[in-house]
Amino acid sequence: VRAADAQKAVIDVKRVGKKIGIVPTMGALHDGHLSLVEASVSECDYTVVTIFVNPIQFGPHEDLTKYPRDLDKDHRSLERCGVDLVFAPTPDEIYAPRHSTYVSPPSVADRLEGVLRPGHFQGVATIVLKLFNIIPADVAYFGQKDYQQSRVVVDMVADLNLPISIQVCPTLREHDGLAMSSRNVYLSPHERQRATGLSEALNRAAGMFRDGEGRTRIIIEEMRKRLYAAGVRKIEYVEIVDPVTLEPLDEATPFSIALIAAYVGKTRLIDNMRLG
Ligand code: AMP
């Protein structure tokens, strides 16, 4: 469906008092995505899933062209979940030739991913606001997997007084702890093995905190050791931060978030966990 038609359909549903949920995704759907969809289907009367690989949130040397895409399979999965509308626009439909308006993201976008992926969160904030305007939903579902992204969206919604509530859902993991991600298909069997180092390091951090270690310097040092031991050598960051501001902490609390970004081979992976 076209943007204007999707918008009209949703406005019609809204008019009769139904609660509308939106789940924004880039497709290549896995069970992590589907857990957000299930939350929406169970809590809302009408669920819209958007599938759009947003070109403006990719850097010039990132994986935009080879990002996994499988629209037919995605449609079949979403049908089984009882989704009411799938909105999968083309880039031209979202970004007209003269498109030139962008959202300047909130300050939580300035650290971590924002430093390593300049412009990424401007791209995210812009597409999320556009999708919220096309699909005027009551609730939007995001994953904790992209923790900083969820913080950017929550702060944007507050700062711009958007009439939508944001629900952040837990990270779904494979049996060995690896956070589900569309990008996991890039991993060779050997890399797939090494990739478990991220969740191992995060679990170790939570374990150390549980056992009484509060000094983030010590915890981070141990996390780095774990990553190295697992064969994850290209670490971009390992941090323990305040859950709201994402500022680094000297002393951890149960609410602190440990975050990792690292390359396994050519694949960039991120993961995070609350310490307490
Ligand atoms: P993406 O398609 O990667 O843009 O992700 C779409 C939404 O699904 C985002 O809100 C992600 O945080 C969420 N998501 C991705 N992976 C997971 C996961 N393993 N568990 C829960 N949510 C996830």
Q: Which of 67, 145, 156 has the most ligand 1 atoms within 8 A of CB, as the residue to mutate?
A: 145
Judged by DSSP in three states, 2 sits in: coil
pLDDT in tens, 16-62: 999 999 999 999 999 999 999 999 999 999 999 999 999 999 999 99
pTM over the 0.95 mark: yes
- Tokens 């939508």 identify what position? 164
Residue 63: which of 266, 236, 271, 222 has the closest Cα?
Answer: 266
CA dist 210 to 68, 127, 172, 201, 216, Å?
38, 39, 22, 14, 13
Question: Over the stretch 132-147, which tens digit does the pLDDT of each residue have?
Answer: 999 999 999 999 999 9
| Token pair belonging to 31 | 């069970």
**How many angstroms separate the alpha carbon of residue 167 from the centre of ligand 1?**
12
Confidence of residue 2 (pLDDT cuts 50, 70, 90): very high
The overall average pLDDT reported for the chain is 98
Vertex 129 angle, CA 126 and 135, to 5°: 135
Distance 149 CA to ligand 1 centre (A): 10
Catalytic residue among 30, 33, 75, 120: 33
Q: What is the pLDDT of residue 86?
A: 98
Any idea which residue has 């680094």 for tokens?
248
Residue 172 CA to ligand 1 center (angstroms) comes to: 9
Q: Which of 29, 36, 271 to mutate to test the pocket of ligand 1 (most atoms within 8 A of CB)?
A: 36
In the residue annotation, 99 being an active-site residue is answered as no
Instruction: Report the pLDDT value the prediction gives residue 85, as an integer from 0 to 100.
Output: 98
Q: SS3 for 227?
A: helix
Report d(CA 185, CA 166) in Å as an integer: 28
**Distance from Cα 36 to the centre of ligand 1, integer Å:** 8
pLDDT for 112 equals 98
- Are the CB atoms for 270 and 146 separated by under 8 Å? yes
pLDDT of residue 50: 99
Q: How far, in Å, CA of 65 to CA of 77, rounded?
A: 23
- Kindly state the percentage of the chain with pLDDT values over 70: 100
Question: 274: part of which helix (H) or strand (E)?
Answer: strand 267-274
Amino acid type, 267 = T
Report residues whose beta carbon is within 6 angstroms of any ligand 1 atom. Answer: 25-26, 32-33, 35-36, 142-143, 145-146, 169, 171-172, 179-182
State the distance from the centre of ligand 1 to the C-alpha of 35, rounded, in angstroms: 9
Q: Whose CA is nearest to atom 5 of ligand 1?
A: 25
pLDDT at 183 (0 to 100): 97
Of ligand 1's atoms, which has the minimum distance to the CA of residue 142? 10
Query: 210 - beta bridge partners?
Result: none
**Are 114 and 246 in contact, with CB atoms under 8 Å apart?**
no
Between CA 3 and CA 17, with CA 166 as vertex, the angle to 5 degrees is: 60
Per-residue pLDDT, 9: 98
Give dist(CA 276, CA 267) in Å, integer.
29
pLDDT in tens, 187-244: 999 999 999 999 999 999 999 999 999 999 999 999 999 999 999 999 999 999 999 9
pLDDT value at position 97? 97
Q: Which residues of 189-207 are buried (b: 16+ CB within 10 A; e: fewer)?
A: eebbebbbbbbbbbebbbe
**How many helices (DSSP H) and strands (DSSP E) are in the chain?**
10, 8
Q: CB atoms < 10 A from the CB of 108, how many? A: 23
- Beta strand ranges found along the chain (DSSP E): 20-25, 46-51, 85-87, 139-143, 165-169, 234-241, 257-264, 267-274
Contact 251, 219 (CB under 8 A): no
